[in-house]
Amino acid sequence: MAARSETIPVAWKNGRFASWLVTVDHKRIGLLYIGTSLVNFMGGGILALMLRSQLATPNEHVLTKNSYDEVMTMHGTVMIFLVVVPIMAGFANFLVPLMIGARDMAFPRLNAFSYWAFLLGSGVLWMSWFASGGPAKAGWTAYTPLSEAAFEPGHGQDYWILSLHILTIASLAGAINFIVTIHNMRTRGMTWMRLPLFVWAIETYAILLVAVLPALSAGLTLLLLDRQAGTHFFLPSAGGNAILYQHVFWFFGHPEVYIMVLPAMGMISEILPVFSRKPIFGYKAIAFSTIGIAFFSMLVWAHHMFAVGMPIGLDAFFMISSMIIAVPTGIKIFNWLATTWRGNLIFDTPMLFALGFIGLFTMGGLSGIFLAVFPVDWQVTDTYYVVAHFHYVLFGGTMFGIFGGLYYWWPKMFGRLLDERLGKLHFWLLFVGFNMTFLPQHMLGLLGMPRRIWTYHHGGLWEWYNLVSSIGSGITGIAILVFVWNVWQAHVLRRGIRAGNDPWLADTLEWYATSPPPPHNFDSVPYVMSHRPLRDLRRRLAEELP
């Protein structure tokens, strides 16, 4: 047989697993991100169910107080740093080059590095469970001096810092890559005002990450030095300042909320028009409100610290800046509502999640106004009211957006559609379970239940609301299992219907490629004339074919 030398250099790299290890393809990296984040989501969700089991009734002993603090800290850290931020990077990786008509990200190798660094950081955090003294247990905010070596002598806190440092490097590299890609690799005709709104959201997400992650890194480095090198930046007993940590942390921490919410808003802005059979209402208003939110998000951090005893003038400043953010957020909500007005609304699963997002995020936004008003905040801060508020924003908002995005882009990612009936069951179970879990927590906060307590001794309403909340969390868990089953039946049992290029008759360029797209994405890209290039194409074809 004649030697076929051209097959030799690619031998091991084409292996079923090896090809995923060495890939620099933005789509495969995106799927790795999404898959890893979803596994972390299951882990973080199990932690949440442990917390709710412990709190279901007064004086419960499912967890010890020690392990409750560990589980509570890990749940928050996992969900924020190992689930929401990276899954957005995953969606962005998969979608941005396709949406702007590019063949790959600007720096494919850096992109692969970002993912593997994320996986490493994620592994370090999970493995910290085996550190001496257990994982970190000072809360996901790790306030000083509680997180200092004097009060947290175990190594869990050090691994927590190490993990966040690695994740920060991964996110920074990824963010720079997104910015460079979006600025330089848009196809012909794709001007800034023709950019899909999801890409606008990722541009803003990336700029925010670059702007605020260094603050987190700096704060954590100082904390690490305090713990390991005998410095005392945050130790008042030796002349340090405990509040300084809170300022540095929240300068990162509040924009982080928008880093997690804006991409989900971008997904909603893609899904709503497609399933309303209409253009997005107020494209410019939505794009500019995204930038407005991002800008003001860097000026509101101390509204997390109203109870630390700042001067009233500062309290007033942070109240007003926090209120200002409500305005661009409201603009988005009203524009989304107007997008459905006089539409032809098709209630496929992605649309259900998008509509659920609007309904639930509105609730989270409005409860935020109570927290912005500092005298009211003095009553509700650090209670279950806050827990309810940010879960309405990050679960009712972001996670509903993510599920909508998964159902919407699943056929593009894998070439098969998820089952619609299971998808609708998933949505309704999640909607009911979510509201049962978190609505009563508003009341618990107003009744005086602080967050981060491992048990309580009150009967009456405390007991009832906690019980309802725990039952709701169980329903939420079942909803997630329905999603897992949906994925299983579509792919392992191969019941998923094969999708064509464009099963939803969508508007943006990713639907021009095959499902799943080839490694080089496009053979050719049509010249972009509007922010709905695929609809333009369909109309042109309809005109040409009599």
Partner 1 sequence: MPLRVRRKLHVLLFVLIATLATAGAAVAANGGFTPENAHSPNAARINSAYYLILGLTAFIFVVVETALIVFVWKYRSRGRGRDVEGAQVHGHTRLELVWTATPVLILVVIASFVFYKLPGISNVPKASAADRINVTVEGHQYYWLYRYPNGAVSINDLHVPVGKVAYLTIVSGDVDHSYWIPQLGGKTDAIPGRTNHTWFQPDSVGVYQGQCAEFCGLFHEAMLAKVVAESDADYQTYITQTAPATLGKQEWGGACATCHGMKGEGGYGPALDHDPILSNESSLASIVRGGISNGLRQMPAVGNTWTDAQVHVLAAYVAKHVYTGASLGG
Q: Is 218 in the site for partner 1 (CB under 8 A)?
A: no
Name the one range near partner 1 by CB under 8 A: 182-190, 362-370, 510-518, 520-528: 362-370
Measured in Å, how far apart are the chain's first and last C-alpha atoms?
54
For the bound state, the minimum distance from the C-beta of residue 262 to partner 1, rounded and expressed in Å, comes to 19
Q: Which of residues 226-255 bind partner 1 (CB under 8 A)?
A: 236-237, 240-243
List the one residue from 83, 213, 294, 380 that touches partner 1 (CB under 8 A). Answer: 380
For the bound state, the minimum distance from the C-beta of residue 392 to partner 1, rounded and expressed in Å, comes to 12
For the bound state, the minimum distance from the C-beta of residue 332 to partner 1, rounded and expressed in Å, comes to 10
**CA distance linking residue 432 with residue 515, whole number of Å:** 33
Q: Which residues of 456-492 are buried (b: 16+ CB within 10 A; e: fewer)?
A: beeeeebeebbbbbbebbbbbbebbebbeebbeebee
Task: Give the dihedral of Cα atoms 136, 137, 139, 144; nearest 10 deg.
Answer: -80
**CA distance linking residue 66 with residue 481, whole number of Å:** 29
Read off the amino acid at residue 118.
F
Q: Which of residues 321-340 bind partner 1 (CB under 8 A)?
A: 323-324, 326-327, 330-331, 333-335, 337-338, 340
Q: What are phi and psi of 498, to 5 degrees?
A: -65, 135
- Tokens for 331, please give them: 């603009």
Q: Which of residues 449-468 bind partner 1 (CB under 8 A)?
A: 450-456, 461, 465
For the bound state, the minimum distance from the C-beta of residue 446 to partner 1, rounded and expressed in Å, comes to 5
Q: Is 146 in the site for partner 1 (CB under 8 A)?
A: yes
Name the one range near partner 1 by CB under 8 A: 62-70, 90-98, 205-213, 471-479: 62-70
List the one residue from 127, 218, 316, 478 that touches partner 1 (CB under 8 A). Answer: 316
DSSP, collapsed to helix, strand or coil, labels residue 101 as coil
Alpha helices in 229-241 (DSSP H): none
Q: Is 435 in the site for partner 1 (CB under 8 A)?
A: no
For the bound state, the minimum distance from the C-beta of residue 299 to partner 1, rounded and expressed in Å, comes to 16
From residue 6 to residue 45, what is the string marking binding to partner 1 with x (rule CB under 8 A)?
A: ----------------------------------------
What letter would DSSP give residue 219? Answer: H
List the one residue from 283, 400, 407, 410 that touches partner 1 (CB under 8 A). Answer: 283
Of 27 and 391, nearer to partner 1 (C-beta) is: 391
Closest CA to 226 of 307, 163, 143, 120: 143
496 φ/ψ sector (left φ>0, alpha ψ -120 to 50, else beta): beta
Name the one range near partner 1 by CB under 8 A: 74-82, 90-98, 219-227, 442-450: 442-450
